[in-house]
Structures are given as C-alpha cells and as structure tokens.
Structure 1
Amino acid sequence: MAALKAELKEHPGVAAVRSYGCRWEAGELRGLEAFVERVVADVWALLQRHFLQGPPPSLQEAFLAAKMAAGSARHRLVAATAAAIQDGRHSRLLVTGEPGDGRTVFLAALVGALRQAPPPSPRRPRPRCLPAYHFAGARPDQADARLALAHLCAQLARLRGHAPPGDHAPPGDHTHSGGHAHQGHTPLEGTSYGSLRLRLLSLLATPPPRGLRLVLVVDDPGALHEGGAPRRDWLPATLPPRVTLVLSAPTPRPGHAPWEEVGGAWHHLPLGPLPPGDRARLLEAELKRSGRSLEPDQVRRVLAKGGARQPLYLKLLLAELGAFARHEDVTQELASAPPTLPGLLGRLLLRLQQRHGPALALSLAALDAAPHGLGEGQLLAVLGAGQRVGGATPTWAEAAAAAGPAPCPAPHWALLRDLRW
C-alpha cells in the first residue's frame, strides 16, 4: 500500500490521494471519523449543486426544457419563423398540424430561438424578443384558464419590469423532488377569471420600448376552459406595435376556422409532413441520442414507412425497437411495423398489455382520472401494483397498499411516457 500511494503521488494527473488514519480494533476498523467527514462534505456539496442552487423550476419551465431537449425536426422552419417574428412580419401567427406532427415541440423550439439574441442584420438591427409562454398540455390542470392566465400575467409583468425576477410561476405551478407536483391546495383561490383576463389584456395593451418585441406563445389554446366551459375571450381583439401572438391548434376541418373569429388577420403556418431531409436528420439525431445504430438498409426501411412523415412516428418506432427487439430481429421488426401512427400506437399498447397485463389499464385509467396528473414514481407504483396483488385487476385500495418500486423496465416506461400524445 505504501508503494502504491507513493507511485500515485508522483503522478497527480492519474488520481487524487488523501491519507486517513485508522486502526483495527476489536475486530473492526476504528478511527475513520476524518474519512466519514470528508464523505459527508462531498455528498453535501453534490446535493447543494443539484438541488439547492436557485428556486425550483416551475412545471411550465420543466415542460419547456423537456420539449426543447427532445429537439424539433424542423430546425430551418423554426429559424425562419423566429426571424419573421423578430422582423415584425406577423403580428398573429397560427401554427397548425395533425396529432403527431410535433406542434408542441415546434413551439418549444421557437421559444428557445426567440430567447436568443437576434443575429446581426445588414439592413437594420432586429429587436430582442421577450417570449411569454404557456403549454396547456403540460399537465391536466394546466388547461385551467385561470391558471394559464395567471402564469402568462406573471411572466408579462416580469418581462415588463413590474415584478421581481423570481416571480414567474403562479401558485400550484412548481415541481418538486421526485417529479411530483404539490397538490395540497387549490391554486388561485379568490382570483376570478374576469380579473385575470383584464390584467392580461392590460399588460398586452401597451407596446414595449423600441428595440424590444413582446411575444405571447400559447400551445393548444382551444383546450383552455373555466369549469369545463371553453374560454377564448382572453385573446386581445387588437395588438399594439411590437407585440406578437403565436398560437397552435389542430388542423381545422374544411370551412371551419374558429380562430379567425378572434380579431385581426392571422398568418397560417401549417407544419405538414416532414421533408425527406428532415426525416433523415431526425432519425440520425434520435439514434445518436439513444446510443444505437441501424444498418443502411434498416435506415431505408424506416424512412420508407408512410408514418415517417410525422416526428412522433419515428421516435416511437425507435423506442419500440429499443424496448422489444433483439439486435438480430431488427430487420424483421421493421418489416412488420405498422406504416401509420395509429397502427403503431395500437401495436405498442398491445405489447405493453401483454407484458404488464391489467396493470396497464389501471395505470392509464389513473392518468385519466388524476386531475393534476401523476408523477413518474406515482405512475410506476400503480403500474406495478397489479403484479404485486396477484394478477387480477386490483381495487384502488389494494393498489395503494401495494405501491412501491414497480417492476417496469426503463425502456417500457419510456414508451408509456411517450404515448402521452
């Protein structure tokens, strides 16, 4: 040991060596207090770095970060749209697309692009954009119009300098350790929808200073409601200079344009099918992110699928391969993969049901029934409860009693999480 320590001390780039005194006494090591103190100090420093630096992110911030990390397949369109907003070409922008086209991820990438400093322009300087955003699908309760308006008002007040920097999340909008959101109180008690609506409209009524552009980004505004009644009267009939409104909505039926009824002319941005080049780039990025690879022939098979026109299809197909396919079976799995997104979702659910039985139905029912959603740990506990109580569909009391670490492999859980589309 002495020779080993001497050798390591001569080569400090190889390892860091510290000496701790100890002794063997009464059949056990004694005198390790200094070592224990060092371990505790290191662990505490690590905990502080990960959990105690700054306030916890709000649910909306965490959702935005997750969608930005997922990466949009439409990088060029995101950049072009951000440039058009910075130049003031569109005061009202409506992003449309079918389920699975990536509207939410596109808006998250757009918020990220708008937060960046604008590139230099040869004609005139582009204004700096100040985006305020809300994703109605971040959690079931985020479609509550009062909560959405409170979140937007807090951001707008902060961006306009009317609130301290930390005042950016309404009550009930914070994430907590383990991914569980606090649900012990009713958010926004005593705050009426009408007062929040007037507050939002007043914050949008005044143009920001020159050199700045205020951008309001709302994903799936058609889902916003007050007690189950849809609400759209929070949208301003007119917009002052240097204020832009960006919404996303499903592709409307022919002859049906619900957002045209809200004042002003809308510029429509249909996402549509992914261009072939974007499909290949998304596939390459997803393979790199997961640390996997496909043979050239297998790549061609994936891109030839009809569903490859949609980002969600490509992501779920690769996730299914990672969860269920052995290396030697990948080509056969690709050959039998359904060519459409609904077909692929059906096969995924069937496979998960075969693997987990009634617990899958229980977990999906729990997701639908939970008014504030479920954290990952909570849903994993429900998913594993059926297997711990004997195979038959358990009651809620039995599921709660059996809650604990769920026997659900990580790839299968990733699929369950991705199915929330």
Structure 2
Amino acid sequence: MTNMPVCRISGQPLHAFLDLGMMPVANAFLTKAQLAQPEFKFPLRVGFCETSLMVQLIEMVDPAQLFHGNYAYFSSISRVMEQHFAQLADAVAAELLYDKRLPVVEIGSNDGILLAKLAAHAPAVGIEPSGNVAAAARARGLDVISEFFEPGLAARLRAERGAAQLVVGANVLCHIPDLNALARSLDVLLDANGIFIFEDPYLLEIITQLAYDQIYDEHYFYFSVLSLSRLFAAHGLRIFRVEALPVHGGSMRVYGCRAGAQRATEPCVQTQVALERQHGLHLLQTYVDFAERVRQSRAALFTMLYDLKQSGRRIAGYAASSKGTVVLNYCGIGPQLLDYICDNTPGKQGLYAPGTHIPVLPIEHFAADRPDFAFVLAWNHMREIMAKEQAFTQAGGRFITHIPSAAIV
C-alpha cells in the first residue's frame, strides 16, 4: 500500500476531508476457513487537491492486490449494462469510427461485454489485468491482453497493430493509479484523428446524492469535467464532448482527442464546467460539508436498521457489491442486523462479506426465505432489482435504501 500525502496528478498538497475508517478490500470475499485469519484492512480516507481539482484516495492499495486471477465482478451479470454497452457500440460505430483497418482498444474490458460489440465493427483488443474475467472474454473468442495499460504496452500495441482510432474504458479510468501515465499512453497509442472515451462515476452525482459508497479501494479518483480537463490539457489532449449517464448511480462520459485535432469542442463541455463551479466542485469547503452529511447519514441508517431489528423484523442484504462493503463497514452493520446477503454471482455465493463476515447466499435463498426487509446494497440497480423481485413486494416485503437518505421504499 502506498501512502500519498500529495496529489498524484500535481504533486501539490492533498487536503483530507473524509475518513471512512479501516476498510477491507471491497471485493475480497472470504471462505469460512479465512474467517479465522487476519484480514487486510487499510485507512479509507479521501482528499482534494486545490491545484489539480482532483478528489482522490489518500492511501492506495496496490493494484495487483485488487485486479488479479480471482476478481469478483463480471460485467455481464447485469441486463442494464448489456443494453447500455450495446447502445454505446452502435453509437460509436455510426459516428466515430473512420477506418476499418485501425484497431479499437478497450481498457478494463472485463468479460468482454462491450469488447464483443466493438469487435463487430473494427479490429478490437481488450486490456484486462484480472486473469479470470479475461479468460471469460477469451472463451468468447475475443482478443484480450492480461496486463496493466501503461506507455510500454501502448507502444507495443501501436507497433504490432497500428495506431488506435478509438481507446475506450467504462468504469475503469478511476481504477488507474497513475493518470499522468495513462495520458502519456493515450498520446503514444492514438492515431492523429483518434479519440478516447471514458465513463466513470461522476463526482457531482456523488456529492449531490450523498453516494459516499462510491468511494472504495478500486476507485482511486473521483472525476469532474474540471479536473479531467486539467489532466488531459497537460498532455496535449482535450475533452470535446461530455454526456451524463444514469449507470452506476450517475456517471459522466467524456469524449477526447488530441488538442490539435479538427474536432470542435462542443458547448456541452463549458456548460458542464459552469454547472460544476456553481456546485463548488473547485472549492475545498464543498467537500468538508459533504463529509459532515456523510456522518449524519451513517447515524440515520444504523438507527433505522437497529430499530427494525429490535422490533423483531428480519432484514437481508441484497447484492454483495463493493458499495455494500463500504456502507456495512463504515456504518457498523454486521450479522447482528443483517441475516445474510443474497447475490446472483456464483463466485461470491457461499463466501462471507469482507470485514463484516455476513454470509453470502444464492438469490434463490432470498426468494424462498422471504425476509421482512431487503437492504439494497447495489442501490444503483434498484429499479432492476425491484422489477425482478415483484413477488417479494407483493408478499409484503419492503426494500430499504440509504441513497440519498435512509428510507423504506
């Protein structure tokens, strides 16, 4: 683990504003035998740099400890994301791809949910350091390299496959600890007319929704258009379009190119920058105020669950998500409040949640068990979950959320 007293973008002081306590790795689910062993934890603290305007983790876990051969998240489990990436691939093919010979490169391609769709339009290669999800993509016939994306790999790709007309990453830019190296890699790999597209959880949505559970070990950075514009400009790149997205609880998709490219910067970029300034995303005090609201949210959620449990109600967690790991550990919610967590990912079933050691059971158990309440730990999939679990609500079950505030829905 690397201690980071200064901003990893600018090298200037980083001002701590939020401490979520000692936290396990969000996706490090445990076997029963591992429950008796020491569990790795790290201080989950967040800071803001007044020079780069970047919000970032202060202590960072080594990426090799997070993205490995037993990575727990498979993108293809969500129908919503399947539709989302199909729409992205179609839009890219219709408007932005310009040479069927030049490759498209996806960083963090996971199990190939987007890569497969891009491969229908141009030579496509995925970069995925987590071996198990990369193997799932290869089993679909996709071309995937299991390495971290950095300038050396970018140079090799360009030499072997040609300059890229598109580099794309979905919910991956925030996972890269050295964003200056990422920008240098883009400069190496992109064709003169090439573009890059990244979509990640959006800082403004995190602040306005009080979505502090977006902050965990894999998310090293939390982006605004302001901060990304400064980052890319320092490397001869610029953002020419931005697009707000509903996925992951509120994301921002940015489209970029070389600074000297002929593509015009669209008015939406300056509109979004102006909105961010109105909300104070360039000011430290905004984040200090956010931290106080987070502390109030923790107290309200714990009180709600505790009171329900004291009244004899049975509560289960729904979806063993990374966000859930943060909420459960920060708020002190363990087996004393949640009987279990149900999840539809086979690799998590039969294991125990990081830090809290709540058992993770198959989704079928939830249907048969019928608890009184289900606390949705993947709140960004709330609509999808509620549509799927109509039998639960028809039988009198209720869902609980903590975003934007603790509530029974």
Question: TM-score normalized by structure 2?
Answer: 0.31
Q: Which has the higher strand share?
A: 2
Question: TM-score normalized by structure 1?
Answer: 0.31
Q: Which has the higher helix share?
A: 1
Of structures 1 and 2, the larger Rg is shown by 1
